[in-house]
Amino acid sequence: MFETTELNTRINDALDTIRPYLQADGGDVELVEVKADSEVILKLTGACSGCSMSDMTMTAGIEETLRKSIPGLGKIIAIKE
């Protein structure tokens, strides 16, 4: 569906649009892996890894941004630091 390098670039570009908001609260997000089925593994770091609102941030912020920017992504999974 997607070329891996192109998909990684597109994901990182989309994450860059929301990264300043996460960093303002002491957190961040990193792309860990994109699997063959376009499943995306992200890692929440800093304050985001222990925040009680991280599930909301992941769903309403990060996942929504990625799906709007890159239609056709598979499952989006966040792991914590």
Q: What burial class does residue 36 get, using C-beta atoms within 10 Å of its C-beta: 0-12 exposed, 13-18 middle, 19+ buried?
A: exposed
| Predicted confidence (pLDDT) per residue in 14-37, tens digit | 999 999 999 999 999 999 999 988
The pTM assigned to this predicted structure is: 0.89
What letter would DSSP give residue 74?
A: -
Highest mean pLDDT among 1-5, 36-40, 64-68: 64-68
Q: Are 62 and 78 in contact (CB under 8 A)?
A: yes
Specify the CATH number for 4-80; select among 3.30.1360.170, 3.40.50.880, 3.30.1540.10, 3.30.300.130. Answer: 3.30.300.130
- Count of beta carbons in the 10 Å neighbourhood of residue 54: 20
**What residues are paired with 44 via a beta bridge?**
29, 80
pLDDT at 2: 64
Q: How far apart are CA 68 and CA 49, in angstroms?
A: 24
